[in-house]
Structures are given as structure tokens and as C-alpha cells.
């Protein structure tokens, strides 16, 4: 069995804000907001040990919201000792109710559940509300609220239906907010969180990506020593940043393996080879296994079966390539580098406090199995996607790589609906290139999060010149999203869509109809398969 994954090492002196997650749908968003404000954040479980919290040397602590009520059986609780750590604590929604309850207040069902925007009146502007409007809009989502408040508490703000919408326990340095400052529906929420970090906790904004990079460039060589590392390179943002970081940290002790599965976008292989072999001078091994992948997929239409076959073949190809690297002589290959990100760690249920040992494997290297026998290096496992892009910029990766839209692990196999044949793949590649070319030309690439073409398994009647055609239909998909958990279809200007449609029909033989997908996620998914 493979050894536990090696996590990242945070730079010395970075101010850390642990967030105790009580099941809030916004927990990751709180963590992102804290990091955006210049402090490092980490999600921890409600049962986190106090000594573990102390070991993080926290500048402050946040108790997240959650779906439970305080008096529910099995409602999550944390150790009351968090109020004895000597650092400020901010409770949000359920976190406020729990903190107030632990410090002697009463929590009751609200007369009317408050959900949506509310008008907040600030009664005490010092500290948490420093410099904010005395009358501001906030986003509420609660059925319980704090009622009987001991004299040790001070009410900081209220709404028409919530007399204690924000409170403070001065002796324990506990602050409670019944609303959600982390969501965009609370316009001054980010300012409020910054006040907690800087005015209340005394943070200085020491979380910098350049410092993170330097810390990694010290810790990775110390870990690797004279041993070698292989990295599965897909051409996506995550694996590209991992490869660039390791190249800087350990130089020629890194070997990258790029598998051409025959399901790539147009000129994808050349882009990867030019970027990493020429620009970064990395030992890059390209394996052309397109014939094997396409043979496996012949006649297969079910998307899940496509994924299964591609995954199995990828593992076999990567294992053989890794064996060849190991047989080259020199130092043995001991480590496998992966582009696992913090959301992957969190979603696995193992990510609290950054101490996860057995995390889900990231799609960048195809979900490689433990029996390969490598020790994992996951230098990005503390980072969110936007932070990975910033790290890529610090490392000097080209902008077209850093800001590249996501591409599915199975490649075009899940964008060619139905049977996978070389001619259908080539047709989609031409369409997809036109779509991206026009999106870039219209300066829409950065404002959209994923844009691509899909080849549908249907044909339609058309007229070209004086003749009747019966050709393929292509769908264009463009979405905007913050976290890819939900997404809305992008409002691409009609003239851009018209240009895309005209070019595809005129330039790509075999297509006579283009449609635009206006489905949001949910209920639809971003990819069609």
C-alpha cells in the first residue's frame, strides 16, 4: 500500500484562522474570503482537539454556520475550551447560536424564519463594524435566534425581526453574527470579515503566494533528497502548476509523463510539449497510446463505460511509462506528484486541519491506484483553484496555461456523444477550436469559466447552396461559476454566437446546425456526459 500523501508546508509566520465547520454550505466560501483578505484559513472538524488548534498558532477562530438547531439530537458541538485559547472567536449563524449558548445565552425558535436580505442597523460601530455604514443589507438564513442574553453580552446590531443580529462577549472576545458575511448578498460582508481579521485579531496580511512558493521550494527538496519524482502531466492548470513548482524545487530529479490518449483538443500535445520541454526544460516523456484508447472505445456509447475503459487504460499506460522511467538507471523513482487541491481534500471528508492521510485521488493523473507503490507529493493540497492560478503566475507559467478552462479527464470522449470514431473526434476538434477562437477574440475567455463544443448523436436537414444536406448538430456550452458546484449559462452576445455558428457551418464539413445550451447547473451538469 502506498504511503500517506505528503501535504504542503505553510510559510513560517503566516497568520492562520481555523474555521470549525458545522456543516455549512458556505464553509469553503468563508475559507476563501479569509485567504483573499490576506490570512491563511483551514477547515477543521467540530471534534478538533484543542492541542491541534493550538499547534496551528491561530490568530483567531471562526465557527461556521450549519443546518442543525442547538437542541437537535446529535447537533454538532465543539470543545468549550475554544473560548480559552486567548484569541478572538467569530460565530456565524449556527456558530453564533452555539457560542452564545455555551456562554450562557438562550436560543429559541424565531417567531418567523428569516431567509433572504434584511436591513441591519448598527448600534455599536467600534471594532467589527468599524468604517461600515450604520444601515446595511445583510443575508439571513435562520430559524433560531439568540433571545435571553446575559449582561456579559453587548448587542452590536439588530434587524426588524432579530433584536440580536450581532453580539459581542467582551470578556471571552467572542463575536456572533446571525447573518452570513461571506456571501455576495451581504455587500459589506468582506469588509466586515477584514475588520475581524485586522481590527479584532490584529492580523497583518501575511498570506502571500510568493512566500508559499518559497516555502515549497525549501520543503520539497528536503523531503525528496536524491530520489526522483514522477508527475502525471495532463496540460490542465493543476498538473501544470505542480510540474512547474517541482521543476523549480528539484530540477532534473523530476520526470513528467504526458499520455496522448487520442481524445485531446486540437494541438494539445504540441502545446504541452512546447510549454514544458522547451520553456521549462523539464524531462517530459510523451506516450502516444491513442490507438489503444480508441480501440477500447470502439462501439461504446454509454458515458460511464467510456470513463471506466479510459481510466483502466490510463492506469496501464502510466504504469508502463513509470516502469520505463525507473529502468533508466540513476536514482530510483520514489514519489508521485499530483495536483490535488483543498476542495478535493475537503470533499473526501479527510481534510480538516490539513492532517488528511488518505484522500481521494485527483483526476489529473487518472486516479492512479495505491499499488503503484509511490509516496504521494501533493504540494497544492492547501490551495483553492484561484490560488493555484496565482501560484502559476508567480512561477512564470504562460497566461494561456494559467487561465485555461477545465478539460474533462476522459477528454473529448464525453463531448462526442455516442460512438467514438476518429472522424467524429476530428470534426469536434475543428468546431471546438472555432468556438474558443471567437470567445478569445471577443475578450470573453476570462469572464467565462468553461466554454466548449459538443457533437450530438443526431443529424438534421439543412440546405447549402441548392442542395439538401443531412449532417451533424453541434451544441455550444458556456458557463459562469465560482466553484463549479453550481453554474449558470453565460449570456454570450448574439453577434458572437452568430459568428461561431456561421464559421462552424461554413468551415467544418459535416455540420449544418449549431445550437446554444441555456441550461444551468442544477438541474443540468456542465458537461453533457
Task: Quote the cell numbers at residue 466.
Answer: 441548392
Distances (CA, A) of 249 to 111, 143, 343, 386: 59, 51, 24, 22
Q: Which residues pair with 116 in a beta bridge?
A: 140
Q: Active-site residue among 182, 387, 430, 438?
A: 182
Burial of 60 (C-beta count, 10 Å sphere; 0-12/13-18/19+):
buried
What span, in angstroms and rounded, lies between the C-alpha atoms of 453 and 421? 17
How far is residue 30 CA from its own chain's centroid?
Answer: 13
Beta strands in 25-102 (DSSP E): 40-44, 61-63, 89-92
Is residue 422 a contact partner of residue 473, using CB atoms and an 8 Å limit? Answer: no
Q: Active-site residue among 15, 78, 93, 362?
A: 93
- The edge-to-edge listing of strands for the beta sheet with 375-377 is 283-288, 254-260, 228-232, 333-337, 375-377
Q: Is the dihedral of CA 488, 493, 496, 498 positive or negative?
A: positive
Task: Respond yes or no: is residue 100 known to be catalytic.
Answer: no
What span, in angstroms and rounded, lies between the C-alpha atoms of 336 and 329? 18
How far is residue 413 CA from its own chain's centroid?
Answer: 23
Strands 89-92 vs 61-63: parallel, antiparallel or unpaired: parallel
What span, in angstroms and rounded, lies between the C-alpha atoms of 156 and 480? 37
Q: Active-site residue among 142, 169, 180, 188?
A: 180
DSSP state for residue 417 in the 8-state scheme:
-
Burial of 403 (C-beta count, 10 Å sphere; 0-12/13-18/19+):
middle
DSSP state for residue 487 in the 8-state scheme:
B
Helix (H, G, I), strand (E, B) or coil at 391: helix
What span, in angstroms and rounded, lies between the C-alpha atoms of 66 and 78? 13
Strands 107-122 vs 135-146: parallel, antiparallel or unpaired: antiparallel
Is residue 376 a contact partner of residue 338, using CB atoms and an 8 Å limit? Answer: yes
Name residues whose C-beta falls within 8 Å of residue 507's C-beta, 6 or more positions apart in sequence: 430, 434
- Residue with the three cell numbers 477543521: 44
Helix (H, G, I), strand (E, B) or coil at 31: helix
Task: Respond yes or no: is residue 15 known to be catalytic.
Answer: no
Dihedral, 500, 501, 502, 503 alpha carbons, nearest 10 = 50
Strands 467-480 vs 450-464: parallel, antiparallel or unpaired: antiparallel
Is residue 154 a contact partner of residue 124, using CB atoms and an 8 Å limit? Answer: yes
Task: Respond yes or no: is residue 182 known to be catalytic.
Answer: yes
Residues with catalytic roles: 93, 180, 182
Amino acid at each position: 500500500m502506498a504511503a500517506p500523501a505528503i501535504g504542503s508546508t505553510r510559510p513560517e509566520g503566516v497568520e492562520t484562522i481555523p474555521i470549525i465547520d458545522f456543516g455549512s454550505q458556505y464553509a469553503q466560501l468563508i475559507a476563501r474570503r479569509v485567504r483573499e483578505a490576506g490570512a491563511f484559513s483551514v477547515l477543521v472538524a467540530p471534534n478538533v482537539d484543542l492541542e491541534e488548534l493550538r499547534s496551528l498558532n491561530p490568530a483567531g477562530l471562526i465557527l461556521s454556520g450549519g443546518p442543525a438547531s442547538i437542541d437537535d439530537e446529535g447537533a454538532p458541538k465543539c470543545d468549550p475550551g475554544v473560548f480559552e485559547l486567548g484569541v478572538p472567536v467569530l460565530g456565524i449563524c449556527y456558530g453564533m447560536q452555539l457560542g452564545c449558548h455555551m456562554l450562557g445565552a438562550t436560543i429559541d425558535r424565531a417567531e418567523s424564519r428569516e431567509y433572504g436580505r434584511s436591513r441591519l442597523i448598527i448600534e455599536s460601530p467600534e471594532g467589527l463594524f468599524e468604517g461600515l455604514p450604520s444601515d446595511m443589507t445583510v443575508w439571513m438564513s435562520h430559524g433560531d435566534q439568540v433571545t435571553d442574553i446575559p449582561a456579559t453580552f453587548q448587542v452590536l446590531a439588530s434587524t426588524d425581526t432579530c433584536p440580536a443580529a450581532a453580539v459581542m462577549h467582551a470578556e471571552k472576545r467572542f463575536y456572533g453574527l446571525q447573518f452570513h458575511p461571506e456571501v455576495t448578498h451581504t455587500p459589506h460582508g468582506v469588509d466586515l470579515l477584514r475588520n475581524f481579521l485586522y481590527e479584532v485579531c490584529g492580523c497583518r496580511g501575511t498570506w502571500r503566494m510568493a512566500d508559499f512558493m518559497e516555502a515549497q521550494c525549501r520543503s520539497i527538496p528536503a523531503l525528496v533528497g536524491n530520489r526522483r519524482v514522477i508527475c502525471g502531466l495532463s496540460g490542465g492548470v493543476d498538473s501544470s502548476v505542480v510540474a512547474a513548482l517541482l521543476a523549480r524545487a528539484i530540477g532534473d530529479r523530476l520526470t513528467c509523463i504526458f499520455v496522448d490518449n487520442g481524445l485531446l483538443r486540437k494541438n494539445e500535445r504540441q502545446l504541452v510539449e512546447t510549454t514544458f520541454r522547451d520553456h521549462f526544460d523539464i524531462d517530459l516523456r510523451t506516450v502516444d497510446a491513442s490507438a489503444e484508447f480508441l480501440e477500447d472505445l470502439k462501439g461504446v456509447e454509454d458515458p460511464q463505460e467510456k470513463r471506466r475503459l479510459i481510466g483502466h487504460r490510463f492506469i496501464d499506460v502510466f504504469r508502463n511509462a513509470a516502469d520505463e522511467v525507473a529502468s533508466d538507471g540513476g536514482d530510483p523513482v520514489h514519489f508521485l506528484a499530483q495536483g490535488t487541491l483543498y476542495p478535493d481534500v475537503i470533499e473526501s471528508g479527510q481534510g480538516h486541519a490539513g492532517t488528511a492521510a488518505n484522500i481521494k485521488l485527483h483526476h489529473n493523473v487518472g486516479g492512479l491506484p495505491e499499488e503503484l507503490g509511490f509516496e504521494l507529493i501533493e504540494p497544492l493540497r492547501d490551495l483553492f483553484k484561484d490560488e493555484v492560478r496565482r501560484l502559476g503566475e508567480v512561477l512564470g507559467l504562460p497566461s494561456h496555461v494559467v487561465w485555461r478552462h477545465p478539460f474533462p479527464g476522459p477528454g473529448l470522449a464525453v463531448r462526442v456523444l455516442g460512438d467514438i470514431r476518429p472522424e467524429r473526434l476530428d470534426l469536434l476538434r475543428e468546431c471546438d477550436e472555432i468556438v474558443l477562437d471567437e470567445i478569445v477574440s471577443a475578450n470573453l475567455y476570462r469572464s467565462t469559466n468553461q466554454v466548449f463544443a459538443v457533437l450530438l448523436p443526431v443529424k438534421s436537414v439543412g440546405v447549402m447552396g441548392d442542395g439538401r444536406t443531412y449532417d451533424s448538430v453541434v451544441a455550444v456550452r458556456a458557463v459562469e461559476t465560482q466553484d463549479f458546484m453550481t453554474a449558470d449559462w453565460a449570456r454570450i452576445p448574439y453577434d458572437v454566437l452568430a459568428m461561431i455558428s456561421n464559421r462552424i457551418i461554413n468551415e467544418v464539413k459535416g455540420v449544418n446546425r449549431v445550437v446554444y445550451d441555456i441550461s444551468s447547473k442544477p438541474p443540468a451538469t456542465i458537461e453533457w456526459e
